[in-house]
């Protein structure tokens, strides 16, 4: 199916759900084209075009009327597209990414209208347009920023006391609403004044018992709706902070992750956690008994301005569309959405019997607040039903005729939030404060409640620090070498920030939703921050581990320590650096020391406390430590916060073509592994102005592709897997290493395999062990896509000698995994063997044959062009065949399938003599090991099958052609 293919049903498919009063509606259209799960969707004001973003870093457009993709996808974000929003006037749209950047696009030309905005330093969670389309608000963490759309300039910063999940402009444009979701004691809805940046009088509004995930305004600006981790949806009056009616939802089976309101204010749409979208009548607060459903998780949702369509982005990479007009009139809908007039303004007002009561009195009638305590002086706490209990109205909650048992359960439920309110809010009456404020010990208990991290968080933190970061690091404040125990102590307190709410919120944010076991590592790992140095070693003058334990670099905190202090530091995990005995020893430093010192300065500028360098942080006298370091080095670079790359032969970008850093073996993994990298020239000046040089579509990236031959997508987002071996080997083919074995050792991380380090074994033997490890890990046929002479150290003729053997390989698409095993007889491999005939064979005269021509009678292949690379074929009669290794393996009784273009080896073997009376039962088919098939060291053989109509077709050959051979 192509990128623009659309599956369209004639009508919605109805299937009864597990609940007797609900039925499921499947999408009426699917739009397919993204290569990763959809993260965000939006519709233009005319309801004719869908805009979608994905983890594949692409923005795509879909025409609703024609059901086709519209134009080419847009690129611009480095990590993913996390948000898209269209301006109310339809002239602009913006996108936010996981890279913290905001891109403002012209909706007509689909080109950037301004320069990219580096708005935040982490993933952008939400973007909202102002009603006049002149400004946007963005949120990432606790900072809300307002930007001018025309100039891309920052208008205002609003710092929230908590991390916010979503931000939304009010319909009149004078207010901004945001919801918090991480801090367990700050589950609030906050409203700010756009002109002043100050909180509104009723802000914050509380009432949910779990972190808030989403907020949306009603079109008249008088009401808001929120969704929470407590599994409820609640409506609020924006001027008073009171809850409207009962809470929605509250089911244990699903939780609303995102809410939206239709443009007429009559429909509430909620994206729920069970692959579905649910609807409510916003006037009566009754649920519409139809569920919009998809077989895979629905990750984002949007409703069209004309209220005709609901669009969802899904985990199976599809954009789904439901037609609301057909749904709301379906016969299965027991409660169709009625045609209503303007919203009843009386619904927005508190009950008349409570006009003189404060919001706290409405919620907790037993707790009367004094007259001077106005709405602006207290946190407004309102509630709907108790967790997972049937909903009740506000009047029912305040009914004094409730049973004692009900009151007992109610008091127990609200006591904890009320204590928190008492501890945090300073009321105007001193006498009142003395009555309700807890004692200091109690206040400390309340304040610290929930701050201890969960045990599984601590276990993951211990596992990560002790296994996935370097053995020792330079502690930048004191320029001392420290061990993992010290690093663990340093970052221990940060684990308190990983609360149960943050874990649950992260589970909900993953696309598709993830498990707790997978989420916790993603929260722990970013908290352990260190920088890492990449450089070309100098011939002399590099500081070693032994040098560092005898000297101390001059640093900003070059303080003399007493012997007792050093002893205590050793107990804490320090490897203390002895201070030089005289100041003069630090005045003259080698170039290697100066390079390290400059790198430390750059790391400090990035607010890092730790740095790793391969020159001085490894004790190379310890074979065990050296072995672990080499095996783990790719992972250490990958887990670093940033890689600082020093290019000692470069002044400007154009010098990269001759930079020696790109010619060394170890620097290949140092280029690919880090998530962020920053290049510095020989004078320690930034090579570019950007903070991360792994940016798409930049002049530097163009040069990096040219110099390395590595595609931009691999440079930016490299995945270490035992696949694509032929392509990746060519990246290393021209690189050099001082030790021959390092050719293989420096490539382990690229293919996610591990080798025992054995210096002295020789380069070919080490490279052969690398190829064997790759074969055992993946069985990818691309490991066989090499040519030339094999390695000499093994009996097999199917092991390449070095990465250079893969240079010039034909491009093949991996279509199957082969059962590969290296044995004492050679490489055991199943091949599709097609016999060849040597054409124009000369008469035997004892001389070898050069550059013969071959013909394959099977499948109309005909003449096969083979570059013999000087190989001399024996004049004695032999059998020849194509050994095709690029095919779809046979399964059960099926035959192996050949694509239109196949890659193969040239095989030869001696012909066994025909015996009229075979001795000892030996037949003509018997051959000893020496007489079996052998690989001829030719160039690459790439054959096209003329009988296949296109590259999507396969030719199935008889299973008799499939032979397991030893090469």
What does the radius of gyration of the chain's CA atoms come to, in whole angstroms? 34
Contact 467, 525 (CB under 8 A): no
- Reading the block at residue 386, the tokens are 């108790």
pLDDT per residue as tens digits for the range 421-438: 333 333 333 333 233 233
Query: Cα–Cα distance between 736 and 746 in angstroms, integer?
Result: 11
CA-to-CA separations, 63 to 45, 49, 66, 844, 936, in angstroms, rounded: 13, 5, 6, 71, 55
- Whether 872 shows a pLDDT value over 60: the answer reads yes
Q: Range with the lowest mean pLDDT among 222-231, 342-351, 541-550?
A: 342-351
Query: Cα–Cα distance between 779 and 775 in angstroms, integer?
Result: 5
Calculate mean pLDDT across residues 203-229.
89
Residue 574 vs residue 908, higher pLDDT: 908
- Whether 628 shows a pLDDT value over 90: the answer reads yes
Q: What is the pLDDT of residue 21?
A: 61
Q: What is the pLDDT of residue 868?
A: 81
Calculate mean pLDDT across residues 348-377.
35
Provide the CA 195 distance to its chain's centre, in angstroms: 37
The secondary structure of 563-594, three-state, reads HHHHHHHHHCCEECCCCCCCHHHHCCCCHHHH
Residue 590 vs residue 50, higher pLDDT: 50
- Whether 612 shows a pLDDT value over 80: the answer reads yes
- Whether 213 shows a pLDDT value over 60: the answer reads yes
Q: What is the pLDDT of residue 320?
A: 94
Q: Which of 646, 528, 546, 665 is nearest to 596 (CA)?
A: 646
Per cent of the chain over pLDDT 70 is 75
Residue 786 vs residue 889, higher pLDDT: 786
Residue 760 vs residue 865, higher pLDDT: 760
Q: Which of 144, 104, 96, 146 is nearest to 124 (CA)?
A: 96
- Whether 582 shows a pLDDT value over 60: the answer reads no
Q: Range with the lowest mean pLDDT among 32-46, 156-170, 901-915?
A: 901-915
Q: Range with the lowest mean pLDDT among 55-64, 283-292, 360-369, 726-735?
A: 360-369
The answer for residues whose C-beta is within 8 angstroms of residue 357's C-beta and 6 or more apart is: none
Most confidently predicted of 137-146, 269-278, 373-382, 683-692: 683-692
Bridge partners of 303, per DSSP, are 310
Burial call 58-81: b when 16+ CB within 10 Å, e when fewer: bbbbbbbeebebbeebbebbbbbb
Q: What is the pLDDT of residue 66?
A: 87
- Whether 276 shows a pLDDT value over 80: the answer reads yes
Query: Cα–Cα distance between 107 and 458 in angstroms, integer?
Result: 48
pLDDT per residue as tens digits for the range 680-713: 999 999 999 888 999 887 889 989 999 999 999 8
Q: Range with the lowest mean pLDDT among 208-222, 274-288, 616-630, 891-905?
A: 891-905
Contact 206, 187 (CB under 8 A): yes
The answer for residues whose C-beta is within 8 angstroms of residue 735's C-beta and 6 or more apart is: 663, 664, 665, 667, 668, 743
- Whether 7 shows a pLDDT value over 90: the answer reads no
Calculate mean pLDDT across residues 782-802.
85
- Whether 418 shows a pLDDT value over 60: the answer reads no
Residue 259 vs residue 873, higher pLDDT: 259
pLDDT per residue as tens digits for the range 88-97: 999 999 999 9
Q: Range with the lowest mean pLDDT among 14-28, 568-582, 606-620?
A: 568-582
Per cent of the chain over pLDDT 90 is 39
Bridge partners of 157, per DSSP, are 145
Q: How many CA atoms lie within 13 A of 641 on its CB side?
A: 18
Q: What is the pLDDT of residue 891?
A: 67
Residue 757 vs residue 698, higher pLDDT: 757
Instruction: Name the band, by pLDDT with cuts 50, 70 and 90, for residue 328.
Output: low
- Whether 374 shows a pLDDT value over 50: the answer reads no
pLDDT per residue as tens digits for the range 517-552: 999 999 999 999 999 999 999 888 889 898 888 754
Q: Range with the lowest mean pLDDT among 204-208, 249-253, 579-583?
A: 579-583
Average pLDDT over the chain, rounded to whole? 78
Residue 329 vs residue 655, higher pLDDT: 655
- Whether 219 shows a pLDDT value over 90: the answer reads yes
> Could you tell me the strand order of the sheet in which 574-575 lies?
574-575, 480-483, 472-475, 610-612, 531-534, 642-646, 677-680
Q: What is the pLDDT of residue 45?
A: 93
Q: What is the pLDDT of residue 871?
A: 81
The secondary structure of 420-443, three-state, reads HHHHHCCCCCHHHHHHHCCCHHHH
Most confidently predicted of 455-469, 562-576, 823-837, 864-878: 455-469
Q: What is the pLDDT of residue 43?
A: 95
Calculate mean pLDDT across residues 625-650.
95
- Reading the block at residue 39, the tokens are 């993260």
Dihedral sign for Cα 26, 29, 32, 36, please.
negative
Q: How many CA atoms lie within 13 A of 549 on its CB side?
A: 11
């Amino acid at each position: 199916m192509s990128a623009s293919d659309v599956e369209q049903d004639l009508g919605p498919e109805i299937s009864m759900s597990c609940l007797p009063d609900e039925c499921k509606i499947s999408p009426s259209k699917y739009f397919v084209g993204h290569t990763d799960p959809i993260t965000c969707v939006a519709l233009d004001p005319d309801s004719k075009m869908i805009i979608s973003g994905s983890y594949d870093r692409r923005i795509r457009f879909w025409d609703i009327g024609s059901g086709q993709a519209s134009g080419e996808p847009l690129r611009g974000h480095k990590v993913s597209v996390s948000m898209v929003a269209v301006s109310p006037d339809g002239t602009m749209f913006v996108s936010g990414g996981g890279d913290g950047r905001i891109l403002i696009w012209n909706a007509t030309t689909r080109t950037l209208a301004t320069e990219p905005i580096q708005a935040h330093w982490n993933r952008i969670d939400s973007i909202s347009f102002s009603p006049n389309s002149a400004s946007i608000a963005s949120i990432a963490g606790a900072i809300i920023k307002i930007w001018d759309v025309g100039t891309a300039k920052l208008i205002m910063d609003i710092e929230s006391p908590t991390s916010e999940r979503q931000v939304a402009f009010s319909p009149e444009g004078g207010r901004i609403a945001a919801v918090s979701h991480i801090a367990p004691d700050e589950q609030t809805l906050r409203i700010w004044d756009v002109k002043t940046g100050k909180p509104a009088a009723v802000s914050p509004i509380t009432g949910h018992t779990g972190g808030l995930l989403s907020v949306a305004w009603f079109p008249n600006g008088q009401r808001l709706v929120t969704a929470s981790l407590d599994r409820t949806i609640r409506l609020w009056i924006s001027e008073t902070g009171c809850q409207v009616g009962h809470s929605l939802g509250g089911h244990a089976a699903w939780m609303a992750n995102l809410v939206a309101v239709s443009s007429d204010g009559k429909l509430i749409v909620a994206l729920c956690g069970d692959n579905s979208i649910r609807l409510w009548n916003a006037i009566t607060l009754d649920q519409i008994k139809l569920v919009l459903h998809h077989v895979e998780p629905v990750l984002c949702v949007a409703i069209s301005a004309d209220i005709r369509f609901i669009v969802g982005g899904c985990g199976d990479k599809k954009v789904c569309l439901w037609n609301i007009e057909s749904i709301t009139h379906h016969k299965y809908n027991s409660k169709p959405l009625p045609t209503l007039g303007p919203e009843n303004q009386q619904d927005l007002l508190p009950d008349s019997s409570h006009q003189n009561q404060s919001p706290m009195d409405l919620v907790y009638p037993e707790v009367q607040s004094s007259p001077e305590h106005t709405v602006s002086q207290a946190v407004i706490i309102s509630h709907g039903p108790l967790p997972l209990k049937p909903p009740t109205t506000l009047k029912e909650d305040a009914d004094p005729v409730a049973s004692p048992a009900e009151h007992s359960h109610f008091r127990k439920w609200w006591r904890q939030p009320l204590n928190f309110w008492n501890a945090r809010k300073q009321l105007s009456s001193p006498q009142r404060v003395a009555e309700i404020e807890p004692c200091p010990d109690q206040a400390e208990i309340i304040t610290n409640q929930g701050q201890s991290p969960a045990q599984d968080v601590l276990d993951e933190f211990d596992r990560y620090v002790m296994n996935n970061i370097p053995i020792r690091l330079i502690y930048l404040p004191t320029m001392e070498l420290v061990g993992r125990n010290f690093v663990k102590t340093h970052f221990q307190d940060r684990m308190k920030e990983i609360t149960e709410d943050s874990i649950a919120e992260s589970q909900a944010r993953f696309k598709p939703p993830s498990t707790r076991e997978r989420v916790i590592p993603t929260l722990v790992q970013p908290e352990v921050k260190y920088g890492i140095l990449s450089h070309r070693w100098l011939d002399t003058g590099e500081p070693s581990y032994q040098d560092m334990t005898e000297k101390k670099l001059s640093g900003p905190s070059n303080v003399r320590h007493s012997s007792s202090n050093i002893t205590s530091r050793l107990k804490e995990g320090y490897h203390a650096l002895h201070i030089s005995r005289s100041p003069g020893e630090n005045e003259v430093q080698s170039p290697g020391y100066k390079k390290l010192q400059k790198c430390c300065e750059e790391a400090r500028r990035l607010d890092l406390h730790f740095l790793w360098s391969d020159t001085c942080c490894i004790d190379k006298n310890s074979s065990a430590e050296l072995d672990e370091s080499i095996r783990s080095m790719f992972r250490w670079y990958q887990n670093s916060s940033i890689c600082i790359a020093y290019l000692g032969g470069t002044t400007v970008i154009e010098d990269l073509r001759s930079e020696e850093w790109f010619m060394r073996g170890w620097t290949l993994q140092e280029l690919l592994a880090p998530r962020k990298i920053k290049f510095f020239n020989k004078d320690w000046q930034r090579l570019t102005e950007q903070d991360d040089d792994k940016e798409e579509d930049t002049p530097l990236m163009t040069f990096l592709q040219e110099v390395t031959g590595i595609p931009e997508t691999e440079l930016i987002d490299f995945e270490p897997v035992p696949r694509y071996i032929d392509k990746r080997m060519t990246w290393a083919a021209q690189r050099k290493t001082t030790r021959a074995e390092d050719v293989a050792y420096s490539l382990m991380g690229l293919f996610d395999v591990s080798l025992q380090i054995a210096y002295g074994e020789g380069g070919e033997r080490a490279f052969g062990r690398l190829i064997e490890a790759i074969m055992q890990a993946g069985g990818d046929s691309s490991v066989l896509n090499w040519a030339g002479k094999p390695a000499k150290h093994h009996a097999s003729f199917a092991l390449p000698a070095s990465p250079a053997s893969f240079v010039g390989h034909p491009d093949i698409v991996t279509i199957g995994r082969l059962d590969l095993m290296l044995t004492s007889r050679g490489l055991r491999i199943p091949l599709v063997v097609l016999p060849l005939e040597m054409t124009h064979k000369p008469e035997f005269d004892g001389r070898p044959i050069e550059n013969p021509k071959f013909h394959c009678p099977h499948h109309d292949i005909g003449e096969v062009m083979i570059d013999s690379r000087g190989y001399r074929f024996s004049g004695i009669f032999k059998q020849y065949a194509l050994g095709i290794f690029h095919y779809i393996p046979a399964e059960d009784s099926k035959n192996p399938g050949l694509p239109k273009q196949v890659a193969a080896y040239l095989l030869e073997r001696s012909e066994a003599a025909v015996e009229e009376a075979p001795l000892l039962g030996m037949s003509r088919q018997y051959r000893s090991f020496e007489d079996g098939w052998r690989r001829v060291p030719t160039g690459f053989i790439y054959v096209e099958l003329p009988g296949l109509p296109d590259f999507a077709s396969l030719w199935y050959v008889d299973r008799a052609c499939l032979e397991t051979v030893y090469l």
